[in-house]
């Protein structure tokens, strides 16, 4: 590696390289494969030294346990604790047993109360499967889940890695977040099929890469057929009067600060509700009714492509939420 590159890599690892210089370093490393290899070696040793030489990682195990206690199955977790301790304390004297029971009830109640939703879904609430990239939910996905619950849905979240096509059975809706890695959604890796391509349940997704895999657009080329436009706050509603337009028309501010908007290049036979402001052919809200011809297959049930992206739910304006709500409600009326 050249000396000037060495110095900049050294600055970068010391946290003293500014953003333009880092960008310039990246361009040079990209053109020089040997230098890139050496840079990766530096990263490897730099990061491993921190782990190897730190005295202890204070609180790491505690943080993991804390996350586990907050997981959706905390109830099962606490029940497991109760069951196990009951089993192992049968031989205790009565007073000790009673004291343990009081503590267990308190702990169990605390965990159950933590899980209790302020507005529990009704027993006939639509059952929604939210497919995400990781659990515990990232902030953007958490906001979506809360909104779905606000709409009266019972939501269960699963990661794209774990979910299987059969998980869609009996669901009122499968919502697929852009935090999923598209490769995890492929039923057969490397083949152009997706886990919910043939699902009988309605599918609502804001993972633009999946638009093609789900048969919703004709082309698979990034930036030509699908993508996420950065620095956006507005989309343009072009099919007003449709339930998916939520009563809105024309340019609509959907994000309070500039962010990414997912888009797909649809054919004319799609229900194209809204597009990017810069290009009326790139749809930010589009849909197919059950049985409609999609580029990849006849729609097994309703399909909706939506403009959200990983964290845009944190920036949605009231109009943005209106459009989200409309997409959910329309999908549920399959």
Partner 1 sequence: MENLDDALRRAQQGDPDAYGAVVAATQARLRSFIAGYVPRAAWVDDLAQQAFISAYQNLGSFRVGSDFYAWLRQIAFNHLRAELEKTRRRKRLESDYLVEIAASEMERRLARDPGEEEALDALRDCVSRLPDTSRDIVRRHYGDGSPLAEIAGSLGRPAGSLKVTLFKIRVRLKECIERKRADARPGMSGHA
The set of residues, in sequence order, having a beta carbon less than 8 Å from that of 35 and lying 6+ positions away, is 1, 2, 5, 28, 29
187 binds partner 1 (CB under 8 A): no
| Interface map 61-100 toward partner 1 (x if CB under 8 A) | xxxxx-xxx-x-x--xxxxxx-xx----------------
Nearer to partner 1, 46 or 333 (CB): 46
Interface residue with partner 1 among 9, 174, 236, 248 (CB under 8 A) is: 9
CA distance 152 to 148: 7
Nearer to partner 1, 38 or 325 (CB): 38
112 binds partner 1 (CB under 8 A): no
Number of residues that bind partner 1 (CB under 8 A): 69
Interface residue with partner 1 among 2, 18, 34, 36 (CB under 8 A) is: 36
The CB-of-85 to partner 1 minimum distance in angstroms stands at: 9
The set of residues, in sequence order, having a beta carbon less than 8 Å from that of 136 and lying 6+ positions away, is 67, 70, 71
Strand 282-288 to 259-265 pairing: antiparallel
Which is nearest to 178 in space by CA: 75, 288, 233, 260?
260
- Of 89-97, 178-186, 239-247, 313-321, the window that binds partner 1 (rule: CB under 8 A) is 178-186
Is the previous residue joined to 136 through a cis bond, with omega within 30 degrees of 0? Answer: yes
Give the pair of three-digit tokens for residue 271.
């229900």
Nearer to partner 1, 9 or 214 (CB): 9
Nearer to partner 1, 47 or 224 (CB): 47
34 binds partner 1 (CB under 8 A): no
105 binds partner 1 (CB under 8 A): no
The CB-of-31 to partner 1 minimum distance in angstroms stands at: 10
Interface residue with partner 1 among 38, 127, 198, 277 (CB under 8 A) is: 38
Phi, psi of 200 (to 5 degrees): -75, -15
- Of 56-64, 169-177, 243-251, 288-296, the window that binds partner 1 (rule: CB under 8 A) is 56-64
Handedness of CA 220, 223, 225, 226 (dihedral sign): positive
Instruction: Decide: residue 297, CB within 10 A, 0-12 exposed, 13-18 middle, 19+ buried.
Output: middle
CA distance 334 to 131: 19
Instruction: Decide: residue 50, CB within 10 A, 0-12 exposed, 13-18 middle, 19+ buried.
Output: exposed
The CB-of-159 to partner 1 minimum distance in angstroms stands at: 8
Residues that bind partner 1 (CB under 8 A): 6-7, 9-14, 19, 22-23, 25-27, 29-30, 36-55, 57, 60-65, 67-69, 71, 73, 76-81, 83-84, 133-136, 161, 181-184, 209, 228, 230, 260
């Amino acid at each position: 590696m050249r000396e000037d590159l060495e110095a900049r890599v050294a600055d970068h690892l010391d946290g003293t390289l500014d953003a333009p210089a880092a960008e310039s370093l990246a361009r040079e490393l990209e053109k020089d494969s040997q230098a890139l290899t050496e840079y990766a070696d530096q990263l490897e040793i730099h990061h491993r030294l921190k782990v190897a030489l730190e005295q202890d990682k204070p609180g790491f195990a505690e943080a993991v346990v804390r996350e586990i206690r907050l997981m959706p199955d905390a109830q099962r977790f606490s029940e497991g604790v109760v069951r196990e301790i009951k089993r192992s304390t049968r031989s205790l004297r009565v007073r000790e047993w009673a004291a343990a029971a009081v503590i267990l009830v308190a702990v169990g109640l605390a965990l159950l109360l933590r899980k209790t939703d302020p507005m529990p879904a009704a027993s006939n609430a639509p059952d929604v499967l939210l497919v995400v990239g990781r659990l515990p939910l990232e902030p953007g996905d958490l906001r979506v889940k809360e909104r779905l619950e606000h709409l009266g849905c019972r939501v269960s979240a699963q990661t794209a890695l774990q979910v299987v096509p059969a998980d869609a059975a009996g669901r009122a809706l499968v919502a697929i977040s852009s935090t999923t890695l598209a490769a995890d959604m492929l039923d057969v890796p490397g083949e152009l099929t997706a886990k919910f391509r043939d699902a009988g349940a309605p599918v609502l997704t804001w993972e633009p890469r999946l638009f093609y895999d789900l048969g919703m657009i004709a082309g698979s080329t990034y930036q030509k057929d699908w993508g996420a436009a950065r620095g956006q706050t507005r989309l343009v509603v072009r099919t007003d009067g449709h339930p998916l337009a939520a009563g809105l028309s024309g340019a609509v501010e959907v994000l309070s600060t500039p962010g990414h908007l997912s888009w797909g290049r649809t054919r004319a036979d799609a229900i194209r509700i809204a597009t990017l402001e810069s290009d009326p052919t790139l749809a930010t809200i589009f849909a197919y009714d059950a049985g409609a011809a999609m580029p990849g297959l006849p729609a097994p049930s309703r399909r909706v492509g939506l403009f959200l992206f990983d964290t845009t739910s944190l920036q949605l304006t009231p109009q943005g939420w209106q459009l989200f709500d409309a997409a959910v409600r329309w999908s549920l009326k399959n």
